[in-house]
Chains A and B, each alone.
Chain A
Amino acid sequence: MFEANMDEEWTAGYREPCVQCSAVDWGVSDEGRFYCRSCHNVIERTREVVDPTFTPGSSRVSTIGKGSRTKKTERGHQWNICEGFQFILKKQAEALIRLGVSPRLKDEVLCELWRLYLQKSGQAFTDRPLTSFRVNVRGLDSDSESAAEFSGRSVSDTDGETVASSTVLSNAGSSVDPPPCSGSSDAVSYLTAQQLRSSSLMTMRKTLALIHIALVWIREALTLSDLLRLVNEGHVPYVNAFEELPDEMKLEGKDHLIFKVETIPSHESVHKEAQALLHVLQLPPFPPISCQSLLHPALLSLRYLTELNLPDELHLWVCRLMEQAGLEDQTVHTVDPLTLYVLPRYGVQTAALIVVTMKAVFGGVLRQTGEQDDSGNLFNLRRWYKLLQAALIRAQQNKEHDTARKQWRSKRDVSTSRNRKWVAVKKKRTAEQVQICFERLSSRPAGVERIGPSSFRFCWGDEDGADGPGLHHLTLDGVLTLKHGVLTPSHSTYWHPALQQCNYWRCRSHYLKLEPTLPRMFVWLLKLFSFLLDVKPASLYEEVLRVERRVFGSRTPWRKTKTETKTETKTKTKCRPKTKTKTRPETETKTAKTDR
């Protein structure tokens, strides 16, 4: 190390043992960071502390010396974009494991998925690497090494002097001198390939899709909505994930276009990506999602019912409807090559199921009628609505406040071209100074205060800070009557929007057009669930229609109902979508009677 002599001077005072190897042998890297010379662990301590409170002062003269810009060669090595993604995925998995997900996620599942992905997309593990990348990759014989590489990779392993054997090599061969420039070696070709093929190349959004697939594989209780919420709240690295890349992997030039994100992707888009990835990966059948698994509607609905302060009794009805719709069968929920890798939208489907149940139990238009409650034991829809509406408004406002306060920029310099760099640095410093000034003035730090992550948005009960009293214990006797010795919902009619013929392949959602004609309570219910799951009401509406179609049976040729409905459904009008029926908006169908 050419800096060896100077290091003694600077690190003379620092005698702490290294966290990783317990040695006391410190050096100073080019940026002034202390690093342990035996295991190359970099710590936070820096040689000089830049004073953030420095203001330019009234002197106009500020020189930017051209000479000092050419720094000494930084310790970097050539790295590929997919290496960067690998690292980021690892960090994301670790974050999830810290939050309580099973450790199998990282080593068993995600690692394998990643390798499979690299293989299928031709970036690694293949004899014939993609020609659009300059860099060659190693062959198939290094499977074991790669496993070690993935799980064991950390800053301490990478040695700047020699290129680690498990990483991709340059054309010239291994063990080259560190090149004078840093940044990834294939950003440009990566981008053009991406544009050319709009293909399976990894993007930041796809990392979330891959993680979602991994979570489904291990049948973890996190739905896609939960995952995206964790990402949004910052518990899972995403927005500035590249900050966690080791120092050797410096981002320069075009790298930022790949790794920098300024939006949390929507539920729909990640689901689409995951669907596409499944087709690429061609996985074997997934572990089945049975009734005992937390992603299955039977148990997931219980979670949503609790979250939304609905009575526990409703769960019984949800399960009945689930059976009637044929949704209790585990094959419906399991990803399988036989079903063409259809990835179910677990949360959305369960929410739709609950909506349909409520429509059935409380009457199609969800109006609270009937006797007043004196004993205080009966569940009252109007009261529930008032509670939830207040809580929903509060939650929406808080979400909006958090959105306004959210900080997106990273601490690291992010600029796409070298000549713009000084402008970017200056702007960053300006922004920081103004921020510090107002943080001091308002005595409140910028950004959203990080509270502990929680799956639940609402809290019901009698404690302080609860959104309202709990209604879980109430009974549904107000809406149920005894018919033929069996409890059935008192409302025997069911409301359904008019059927109309439309082109399955071309039509998107009819929700926006239909929304003014729908019952207000129904629309509000859609909005409530959409807020909970962070999806658009339109997609939830489509799912509700789909569930209804399953419940009432449909004779469309492409779908075979797996389970027979054990009860009769008497319909007044036919429900075949092919017929052009100009029905009045209120079609009435008698609800199914169950004798269980």
Chain B
Amino acid sequence: MMDDLERELGRFEDLKHEDDFSDDNSTRGSKRTKPRRMHAETPRETGFHQSTRICLEHIREALLHHRWQEAAEYMACYPQKLEDTATSQSEQYTELVWRLSTEILHQHPNSKLDDYNSIYERMKHSGIRHYLMICLEHSFHLLLNGHIENAKNQLSAAESWRYGKESGHVRQQQIVKLIQAYRSLLDYMIWCDKRFTHFDTDPSSISNADMHNYFRQASVNLKEILRNPGVWDPFILSYVEMLDFYEDYEEALNVLKNYAYDNTFPPNPNAHVYLYQYLKRHEAPERKLIKVLKILQVLVPSHELMLEYSSLLLQSERKKDTQKALEVVLEMLAFACWKSNLDAWKRLKDIIEKLQLEKNWKDVVSDKMAERKNWWPALHFTSFHFRTDSEENPELVEVKASLTKILCPDLTMKYSAGQESA
């Protein structure tokens, strides 16, 4: 945490307007070009500064050693630093007090929600730079403790915050986006809640109207937010769920497709997963499903959906798909999570069996195995593997044994009990 603050210090140079709001008279004439280090001892330190500096050191020591009671005791003595008029870094100290207090509250066994509320409210209003962040953090905390309405109120209040130049600053704008996104998420949660508790099929009932309200509020924002590049997984899911409920399938699909295929967004395997799951739910044709999973396979060859992918490919009529399936499964099996998976090996067996219906299956197989033949056998077919597989999964041994000769015809290692041949 201290390092973050050190980094932040570099950024405070450009925000010269802090001197509008800090009341230090001592640095009236000279404006420092580089901010002073916060925690170093200066040569002529006043007793007050010495006290607060030593207090801070004690708090830090206590936190590092998990002595929460001691940290709380010293924290009670520290806030006098906030009244210091002889420092040009009053906002930094406000941030320091905010972060230290919340950390101690998180860890101390006797902390109550009231304490959190009190601290958050005070720190929010004691500086402008951190107002939005503190609002966000406060609402997270309320959310985690189940006070969804409160959390939402916090965010609504924060959303409409304006403060001159500061609110136009880029960093604040980013936080505003987050705030809007989370407010919408909270709207969604309330919507969910209402849906499962109060929903009845009468379309004109009042509680439904309330629920629809939340949907409207949430969707307006979410639509905006989801245009920005980023990782918005929980928001996407909630939006799609709501759209699904209101049967706006086209929009839902649109949103998911954008999320998955827009190049300005960071590569996100989950996007493809969501799209796939949605299509599957809505019984899209297999070709479409295969198309979606194809990209996922490139991104994450060891994904748990690869098994489904391979079965889809197997079911299809085209020869190319079968070959592709072989490739997919072979890649899967190179990963530790699939290596000893019985289903994967069975699938491989099925694929090989289907391939064997063709005439040139041996070429296909050796073609696919060509790039692997140096390391694949050592990965799967040694006597060590035989022993472990026999102990853990005897059925696997059978499947693997049957495939040894097919996949690796000139295998020197023996997948069986007994010594390896040289």
Minimum CB–CB distance from A410 to chain B (whole Å) comes to 10
- Assess whether A404 is interfacial by the CB under 8 Å rule: yes
- Bitwise, B98-127 to A at CB < 8 A (1) or not (0) is 000100110010110001011101110110
* Partner pick for A404 among B54, B90, B122, CB 8 A cutoff: B54
Judge whether B4 is part of the interface by a CB distance below 8 angstroms.
Answer: no
Residues in B whose Cβ lies below 8 Å from that of A408:
47-48, 51, 80
Does chain B have a CB within 8 A of A417? yes
Of the candidate stretches A424-432, A526-534, A586-594, the one touching chain B is A424-432
- Nearest to A426 among chain B residues (CB) is B126
A153 within 8 A of B: no
From residue 427 to 479 of chain A, which have CB atoms closer than 8 A to chain B?
427-435, 437-442, 444-447
Measured CA separation A439–B78 after assembly (Å) = 11
* CB-defined contacts of B105 to chain A, threshold 8 Å: 441
Q: Is A357 an interface residue (CB 8 A)?
A: no
Q: How large is the interface on B (under 10, 10 to 19, 20 to 34, 35 or more residues)?
A: 35 or more
Tell whether, in the assembled complex, residue B74 and residue A441 are in contact, meaning their CB atoms are under 8 Å apart: no
Min C-beta distance of A194 to chain B, whole Å: 17
Say yes or no: A445-B76 contact (C-beta < 8 A), given A55-B118, A55-B122, A57-B121. yes
A439: nearest residue on chain B (CB-CB)?
B76
Asked if A407 and B54 make an inter-chain contact with CB atoms under 8 angstroms apart, the answer reads no
Give the distance in Å from the alpha carbon of A152 to the alpha carbon of B105 in the complex.
52
Out of B48, B73, B111, which one reaches A263, CB within 8 Å? B48
A437 and B119 form a contact (CB under 8 A): yes
- Pair B77/A446 contact, Cβ less than 8 Å: yes
Interface: B75 (CB within 8 A): yes
CB of A498 within 8 A of chain B?
Answer: no
B369 at the interface (CB under 8 A from A): no
Which B residues between 71 and 101 are near A, CB-CB below 8 angstroms?
72-77, 79-83, 85-86, 90, 97, 101
- Interface of B, secondary structure class, is helix
Nearest A residue to B90 via CB reads A427
A405 within 8 A of B: yes
Residue of B nearest to A428 (CB): B83
CB of B161 within 8 Å of the partner chain? yes
Instruction: Enumerate chain A residues within 8 angstroms of B110, measured Cβ to Cβ.
Output: 441
Is the Cβ of B153 less than 8 Å from the Cβ of A416?
no
Contact of B25 among A56, A263, A416, A437 (CB under 8 A): A416
CA distance A519 to B150 in the complex (A): 68
Measured between alpha carbons, how far is A441 from B154 in the docked complex, in Å?
25
Q: Min CB distance, B151 to chain A, in Å? A: 11
Tell whether A409 is near chain B: CB-to-CB under 8 Å: yes
Q: Do most interface residues of chain A lie in helix, strand or loop, or is the interface mixed? A: helix
Does chain B have a CB within 8 A of A264? Answer: yes
* Minimal Cβ-Cβ distance residue in A for B23: A420
- Asked if A406 is an interface residue, CB under 8 A from chain B, the answer is yes
Is B79 in contact with A430, judged by CB distance below 8 angstroms? yes
Cβ-neighbour of B77 out of A264, A405, A440 (below 8 A): A405
Given the contacts A55-B121, A405-B55, A416-B85, A423 and B49 also touching, CB distance less than 8 Å: no
The contact string, 1 if C-beta is below 8 Å from chain B, for chain A 116-159, is: 00000000000000000000000000000000000000000000
Find chain B residues with CB under 8 A from A405 CB: 51, 55, 74, 77
State A434–B105 Cα separation when bound (angstroms).
Answer: 12
List the B residue with the shortest CB-CB distance to A57: B121
- Interface code B311-336, partner A: CB below 8 Å = 1, 0 otherwise? 00000000000000000000000000
- Besides A408-B51, A435-B79, 18 other CB < 8 A contacts? A55-B122, A57-B121, A58-B153, A58-B157, A401-B58, A403-B54, A404-B74, A405-B51, A423-B23, A424-B83, A431-B81, A433-B122, A434-B101, A434-B119, A435-B80, A437-B118, A438-B76, A442-B72
**Top 9 closest pairs, chain A to chain B, by CB:** A420-B23, A442-B72, A438-B76, A262-B48, A263-B47, A431-B79, A404-B55, A262-B46, A434-B79
| CB-defined A-B contacts under 8 Å, sample of 30 | A55-B121, A56-B121, A56-B122, A56-B125, A58-B121, A58-B154, A58-B157, A60-B157, A262-B47, A262-B48, A262-B49, A403-B50, A403-B54, A405-B55, A409-B83, A423-B21, A424-B23, A424-B83, A426-B125, A427-B90, A429-B122, A431-B79, A431-B83, A433-B122, A434-B122, A438-B75, A438-B101, A441-B76, A441-B104, A446-B77
